[in-house]
Structure 1
Amino acid sequence: MQSTPATTTTKFPDKPITVIVPFSVGSGLDLTARSLEKMAPKHLGQPLVIINKPGGAGTIGWNELAGTTPDGYTIGITAVDMLLLPLYGSAKYDYPTALQPLAQVTAVPLVLAVQSGQPWQTLNDLIEYAKKHPGQLKFGNGGVGGFTHVLGESVAQAAGISIEQVPFSGGGEATSALLGGHVELIFVNPMIIKEHVKNGTVRALAVTGEHRVSDPILAQIPTFKEQGLDISLNNWFGVAVPKEMPVEVKNKLSEGFKAIITDPEFTKNMSNVGLPVEYLGPQESQAKWLADSQKLTKTLQDTGVLEKIKAQRK
Structure 2
Amino acid sequence: MIGRRDLAAGALSLPAARAAAQGNWPDRPVTIVVPSAPGGSLDTLTRLLAEGLREPLGQTVVVENRAGAGGAIGADYVAKSPADSNRFLAGAVHHTILPAVQRVPYDSERDLVPVTDIASSPNALIVPAASPVRTVAELVAGLKAGTVPRDYATGGNGTLHHLTGALFGEAAGVELTPIHYRGSAPAITDLVAGRVPFFFETLPSAAQQIRGGTVRAIAVTSATRAPSLPDVPTMTESGFPSIQVETWYGLLGPRGTPEVVAARLRDAVARALATSPMRAAWEQNGVSGGGKPVADFAAMWRSELAAWTARARSARLSPE
* TM-score above 0.5, yes or no: yes
- Contact 1:137–1:183 (CA under 8 A) maintained in structure 2: no
1:11 corresponds to which letter in structure 2?
A: N
Q: CA deviation at 1:47?
A: 1.3
Tell whether the 8 Å contact from 1:134 to 1:163 is kept in structure 2 after alignment: no
Aligned pair 1:299/2:296, yes or no? no
CA shift at 1:212, angstroms? 1.0
1:182-238 CA distance string (max 9 Å, x none)? 1111111223222332343322111111111111xx221111111111211101111
1:222 paired residue among 233, 256, 260: 233
Quote the residue 2:135 is aligned against: 122
Map 1:78-117; keep pairs closer than 5 Å: 78-117=91-130
Contact 1:23 1:169 in 2 (8 A): yes
Residues 93/135 of structure 1: CA separation in 2 closer, same or farther (3 Å cut):
farther
Find out whether 1:65 has 2:45 as its counterpart.
Answer: no
Preserved contact between residue 270 and residue 290 of structure 2 (Cα < 8 Å) = no
How far apart in 2 are the matches of 1:277 and 1:239? 14
Match of 1:186 among 195, 199, 224: 199
Give the conservation status (yes or no) of the 8 Å contact 1:104–1:238.
yes
Number of the residue aligned with 1:4: 17
What is the CA distance between 1:13 and its match in structure 2? 0.8
CA distance in 2 between partners of 1:89 and 1:214 (Å): 34
For 1:153-208, what per-residue CA distance to the aligned partner results, in whole angstroms no more than 9, with x for missing partners? 00000011122211101111111001111111111122322233234332211111
**C-alpha distance in 2, partners of 1:126/1:297?**
28
Give 1:89 deviation, angstroms.
4.8
- The superposition leaves residues 51-104 of structure 1 with CA deviations (integer Å, 9 ceiling, x where unpaired) of 001111001100000000111511110001111212235100122321111111
Q: Report the AA paired with residue 287 of structure 2.
A: L
Q: Please give the residue correspondences for 1:13-28 in structure 2 after superposition, counting only pairs within 5 Å.
A: 13-28=26-41
Q: Alpha-carbon deviation of 1:134?
A: 8.5
Q: Alpha-carbon deviation of 1:276?
A: 2.1
Q: How far apart, CA to CA, are the structure 2 residues paired with 1:89 and 1:272?
A: 34
Partner of 1:233: 245
2:173 aligned with 1:150, yes or no? no
Query: What TM-score comes out, normalization by structure 2 length?
Result: 0.90
Cα 1:265/1:281, change in 2 over 3 Å: farther
Which of 109, 129, 138 is 2:151 aligned to?
Answer: 138
- Contact kept, 8 Å, 1:210 with 1:232, in 2: the verdict is yes
| Paired-residue identity, % | 25
Amino acid at match of 1:224: M
Amino acid at match of 2:256: E
Matched, 1:287 2:299: yes
Superposed displacement of residue 29, structure 1: 1.1
Describe the SS at the equivalent of 1:166: strand
In structure 2, the gaps of 5 or more residues are 1-11
Aligned equivalent of 2:255: 243
SS at the partner of 2:134?
A: coil
TM superposition shift of 1:4: 1.9
Amino acid at match of 1:114: V
1:39 has 2:52 as partner: yes
CA contact under 8 A between 2:273 and 2:279: conserved in structure 1?
A: yes
Which SS does the other structure have where 1:130 is aligned? helix
Q: Retained in 1: the 8 A contact 2:207–2:285?
A: no
Contact 2:117 2:250 (8 Å CA) reproduced: yes
1:3-25, CA deviations, whole angstroms, 9 ceiling, x for partnerless residues? 32222222211110011000111
**Structure 1: any 5+ residue segments left out of the alignment?**
none
1:278 to 278, 290, 293: 290
| CA distance in structure 1 between the partners assigned to 2:71 and 2:108 by the alignment | 11
Larger Rg: 2
For 1:20, give the aligned amino acid. Answer: V
Deviations 1:28-61, CA, capped at 9 Å, x for gaps: 1111111111112211111101100111100110
Matched with 1:159 is 172
Contact 2:34–2:63 under 8 Å retained in 1: yes
Native 8 Å contact 1:111 1:205 kept in 2? yes
Q: CA deviation at 1:139?
A: 0.3
- Identify if the C-alpha distance between structure 1 residues 25 and 299 changes in structure 2 by more than 3 Å, giving closer, same or farther: same
Does the aligned pair in 2 maintain the 1:111–1:206 contact within 8 Å?
yes
Matched, 1:261 2:243: no
Tell me the distance in 2 between the aligned counterparts of 1:135 and 1:180: 15
1:23 and 1:54 in contact (8 A); partners too:
yes
